[in-house]
Amino acid sequence: MRCLVTGATGFLGSNLVRSLLERGHDVLATGAPGSTTRYLEDLPLRVQLADLTDPAELPPLVDGQDWVFHVAGDTSTWNRLAARRRKVNVEATIALADASLSAGVGRFIHTSTLDVHGYNRDGSALPERSGDRSFFGIGYDYADSKAEGEAQARARIARGLDVVVVYPGFMIGPYDHTLQLGRVVRDLQAGKLTFAPPGTSSFCDVRAVADGMVAAAERGRTGAGYNLTGENRTYVDMFTRIAEVIGAARMPTRVSPTGLAALGAVSQFAARFTGRPPAMDPGMAKYLSAPQASDWSAARRDLGYHPRDLDRAVRDARNWYDEHMPAGAR
């Protein structure tokens, strides 16, 4: 199949293009102008950076494609970046979905987020539906923008676009050059004091998510959504396990919900003067304090999905950072 992958220069995208190539698919990889293509070099694919918010740049990308994997997104949470977030997560999704529809693309695989489901107060795992508590309207605008983008993609189903939605979990593995969970690994390696939020998330190998996305393109049901998630663990438990696997000298320290909320408030206040995104904000503090857990049985049933072994993902991530990331990133 001929495949377009947006966000191909990022963590998940870099792994997805490799999963597609391993299966013999033809890949056109795209990322935002200025994105590093370093981790796509020497791969048998085409790279064409483009501004997805500019509709004029989209026809050459989607023309002749069988599958479009829309992975690109703005994961920021700072309130000052709300306009940029909406432009990327909503307006670019609309433009790409419309361009795909006009080009007769066979299937549109949209990457959403577990955050649109919210969570249950008792910490029970959620399938692809909403819990009894939501992340909307709490100052965590990322969830709001991703929900709107997903809704816009789904709205094109009635017009003939074959849409399947995936909800990745908290991923770990190679090619995390933006240091998402990788920041925790590097700090623990360096013996730094590392704080663990009080909430829960669903952790998985990024390569399992990439394989699950290919399976969603191959045999997912039109209009269906699939949790590509894994083990439901507290951040304390997961960070502690990372420390054990990599042989860290210092274990992480749990921060309380009150302490995290205070850090979010102080950091956001300081950002008013620095002009830089805060490391924590009040909405993110609420999000990281929630008992978010996921049920991936639908993905297992329809796609044959499995999240893989987390210890191996941690070891492979550490080895990749050691080989590819500069020492100053520790």
* CATH number, residue 127: 3.40.50.720
Question: By the 8 A CB rule, do 103 and 162 touch?
Answer: no
Q: Does some domain include residue 171?
A: yes
**Residue 179 — pLDDT band, cuts 50, 70, 90?**
confident
Q: Does some domain include residue 219?
A: yes
What are the E-state strand segments in 1-137?
2-6, 26-29, 46-47, 67-70, 107-111
Q: CA-to-CA distance for 129 and 51, rounded, in angstroms?
A: 32
**Residue 326 — pLDDT band, cuts 50, 70, 90?**
low
Q: Does some domain include residue 147?
A: yes
Domain enclosing residue 161, as ranges: 2-178+202-230+293-309
Bridge-partner residues for 109, per DSSP? 69, 164
Q: What is the residue type of 133?
A: R
Phi first, then psi, for residue 13 (nearest 5°) are -60, -40
User: With the CA atoms of 276, 280, 284 and 287 taken in that order, what torsion angle do they form, in degrees rounded to the nearest 10?
Assistant: 160
Residue 253 structure tokens: 């320290």
Question: By the 8 A CB rule, do 27 and 64 touch?
Answer: no
Lowest mean per-residue pLDDT among 16-30, 93-107, 260-274: 260-274
**Residue 83: is it exposed, middle or buried by C-beta count within 10 angstroms (0-12/13-18/19+)?**
exposed
Q: Does some domain include residue 283?
A: no
Q: Does some domain include residue 264?
A: no
The closest alpha carbon to 111, from 130, 89, 95, 126, belongs to 89
The closest alpha carbon to 6, from 38, 41, 42, 35, belongs to 35
Kindly report whether the global pTM for this prediction surpasses the value 0.85: yes
Q: Where are the alpha helices (DSSP H) in the chain?
A: 11-22, 59-62, 82-86, 92-103, 141-155, 182-189, 206-219, 235-246, 257-274, 282-288, 297-303, 310-324
Q: Does some domain include residue 139?
A: yes
* Distance set, CA 269 to CA 82, 186, 195, 201 (Å): 17, 27, 21, 27
Q: CA-to-CA distance for 163 and 202, rounded, in angstroms?
A: 24
Total of domains in the chain:
1
pLDDT higher than threshold 50 for residue 20: yes
Q: Does some domain include residue 251?
A: no
Q: Does some domain include residue 7?
A: yes
**Residue 330 — pLDDT band, cuts 50, 70, 90?**
very low
- Whole-number pLDDT of residue 325: 79
